[in-house]
Amino acid sequence: MAAQCCCCKAPGAEAAPARPPPEPPPALDVASASSAQLFRLRHLQLGLELRPEARELAGCLVLELCALRPAPRALVLDAHPALRLHSAAFRRAPAAAAEPPCAFAFAAAGPGPGPGPGPGPAPPPPLPAFPEAPGAEPACRPLAFRVDPFTDYGSSLTVTLPPELQAHQPFQVILRYTSTDAPAIWWLDPELTYGNAKPFVFTQGHSVCNRSFFPCFDTPAVKCTYSAVVKAPSGVQVLMSATQSSYVEEEGVYRFHMEHPVPAYLVALVAGDLQPADIGPRSRVWAEPCLLPTATSKLAGAVEQWLSAAERLYGPYMWGRYDIVFLPPSFPIVAMENPCLTFIISSILESDEFLVIDVIHEVAHSWFGNAVTNATWEEMWLSEGLATYAQRRITTETYGAAFTCLETAFRLDALHRQMKLLGEDSPVSKLQVKLEPGVNPSHLMNLFTYEKGYCFVYYLSQLCGDPQRFDDFLRAYVEKYKFTSVVAQDLLDSFLSFFPELKEQSVDCRAGLEFERWLNATGPPLAEPDLSQGSSLTRPVEALFQLWTAEPLDQAAASASAIDISKWRTFQTALFLDRLLDGSPLPQEVVMSLSKCYSSLLDSMNAEIRIRWLQIVVRNDYYPDLHRVRRFLESQMSRMYTIPLYEDLCTGALKSFALEVFYQTQGRLHPNLRRTIQQILSQGLGPGAEPSAEQASAAADSGVDADAPALLLGDEAPSSAISLRDVNVSA
């Protein structure tokens, strides 16, 4: 996943008047303000009401905890300025049978927003509540709390605890809150969906955004089970990343339960005009009605094939169902491995090979990332590198080694491109990245996390000499650490224990390939896989690229035109175009010949191909094909197909063209994406640049404020040096 930083919001939290004494515990995770090391989180319960008209979520959170030492003065949770806490309460945990699980009370549906009977605006609707039976014990006690700044992506919420609390004594903390304009919660008006009929909302918690969804220990080191009850407007389907779900018609609520411990970032929700279709014995797809036939036809039978292959390699799938929900183009990344319910952007449906790889990668996360999780964001490669290795073992078993080697070559090409742009001394090229306080962990998401991590895991597999034996090791590793969080040393110690003969040979200390160097050296991977089994697919790409860079051009173009790329795999064509992009700007006569040979053909292919050709057009200022760029941007609402083109347009001679197209299309873009593009345009146009009269008129016609400030309220503009296409991988 190329996680875009979407966790910076303006302050606006409201605190209770009482201020408990501070308790600054040492942080295990520099990205978390919480006192997670002082407590054991047993379970959390969420009562949520979705209010799309107000773009607000109202919540009641019940944390079931045990203190690990006597009389802790306070509980510190991760929160966010977008989250307004209204009350905090304490009670001793009731006996297991004293109350039904996840019992929340919601206000009855009223006539809707409008003025009250007296002067002034109507009072806000009541919040969900965690009810008590009259006279029941144990009774709730109000708690004092305060909210303090932490970083630009979150706050710390300190809740005073009763002084008589004993170690290991179960208790509950009940928090009632509202969350508005939260970076984790993406509200879409009907116009931003395919059906244009109903509002849509989804959450995206990776890496540290879910602290704006609900107060939590927002660190991957802490896992717990959870339950939820969700009330939504009539006709809106609600889904969550849970092993059990149901709709209670008489109450008008959805109920969910996740029976396995998960970290906070994997609690996910989506709601909208969604319909299901079964695609296998334990899988279904959910999508808007107009997308459902396409999604079903592309994945029917395939997901079960991939799950079965993964089970043969790494042991039983432990999450019950594996469902997929296709989200509108506003989804900020390609895919997210939420347990039981993979989120994936619907834009990828037209690119079959990318769809296959993205879903298989999320399937692999069921073992590596969801079951066994990196304990800190500084070692994300433990999830992403292992998931990428497992993904490629699954594709090898399912589609053969040649296809896997082609996809690997394509990704490693992108890795080396990123390496050239960042420089070999870039600290983010380490597998064990040092996360400085205040730095958003999302900034650490890059191709090194995936591909350098994959190369290290592949190297380990080669040390044992047999991929099947390494599969056996990974199966044992998952069995040992499932539902826990680990550090790199856990993986490497387990590896050397599983292969004692390698430990005796001191393979961890081989000169130049030391495990410590793999983890902490900057630069490219210390070793890369042998991809010769993919030469039947990669050799034609190399040959065609060489033809187009050969002299004389007329002869080269004639030879190149005899090669029918319409029969190529998508990854072959994408790899060829990436090589041309790397060589841009090209001589104008070469670009003219390329356009004559390929432009119409490529225009009929999927978006992953088209965007690459259009980037070549832009980087070479090839005006005859500029109308294709305009048409593409007019039809796209996704980050991954708009940001790269706007970046290229604004670093070349086509800034005015970019501004004109943006003003004509911005009304169809999600506000977060709109702000990101505004920032790119602002940087590209330079200080004092003013839109032309024609551009201002286009902005007025679009119904969007032409003078809207180019500020990043929820996203960070990508660096113009690194195209989003090079980092926009699955989570």
Paired strand residues for 485: 373
Residue among 56, 288, 337, 362 flagged as catalytic: 362
384 is in an annotated binding site: yes
Q: How many CB atoms lie within 10 A of CB 132?
A: 17
Query: Does residue 379 carry a catalytic annotation?
Result: no
CB 128 within 8 A of CB 58: yes
Q: How do 145-151 and 56-67 pair as beta strands?
A: unpaired
Residue position matching structure tokens 């929900």: 325
Whether a cis peptide bond, with omega within 30° of 0, leads into 149 is no
Helical spans, DSSP H, in 604-725: 607-619, 626-635, 639-651, 655-665, 671-685, 693-702
**What does the block give as tokens for 455?**
């190369």
Q: Is 43 annotated as a binding residue?
A: no
CA distance linking residue 274 with residue 286, whole number of Å = 6
Taking the C-alpha atoms of residue 92 and residue 139, their distance in angstroms, rounded to an integer, is 8
Question: Rounded to an integer, what distance in angstroms lies between the CA atom of residue 306 and that of residue 517?
Answer: 34
Provide the pairing of β-strand 269-272 with 56-67. Answer: unpaired
Angle at 479 between CA 475 and CA 481, to 5 degrees: 115
* Burial of 112 from C-beta contacts in 10 A (0-12 / 13-18 / 19+): exposed
Asked if 78 and 185 count as a contact pair (C-beta separation under 8 A), the reply is no
3-class secondary-structure state, position 617: helix
Q: CB–CB of 433/488 below 8 Å?
A: no
In the three-class reduction of DSSP (H, G, I as helix; E, B as strand; rest coil), residue 1 is classed as coil
Residue 454: its H or E element: helix 453-463
Q: In what order do the strands lie in the sheet with 253-262?
A: 141-142, 83-92, 170-180, 56-67, 39-51, 224-231, 253-262, 244-248
DSSP β-ladder status, 39-51 and 56-67: antiparallel
* Dihedral angle of Cα 407, 413, 418, 419, to the nearest 10 degrees: 130
Cβ neighbours for 40, distance < 8 A, ≥ 6 positions apart: 65, 66, 68
Report the sign of the C-alpha dihedral through residues 318, 242, 276, 368, in that order: negative
Question: Which position among 254, 450, 459, 622 bears the catalytic label?
Answer: 450
- Terminal CA-CA length for the chain: 4
List the structure tokens of 382: 């433990």
The answer to whether 479 is a known catalytic residue is no
- Is 365 marked within a binding site? yes
Instruction: Give 280's strand partners.
Output: 283
Buried b (16+ CB within 10 A) or exposed e, 47-83: bbbbbbeebbbbbbbbbbbbbeeeebebbbbbbbbbb
Helix/strand/coil percent split, the chain, to 5:
40, 20, 40
Tokens matching residue 682: 């602002």
The number of residues in the chain equals 731
On the 0-12 / 13-18 / 19+ scale of CB atoms within 10 A, 712 is middle
Q: Please give the annotated binding residues, written as ranges.
A: 361, 365, 384
Task: Cite the active site residues.
Answer: 362, 450
Extract the annotated binding site for Zn(2+).
361, 365, 384
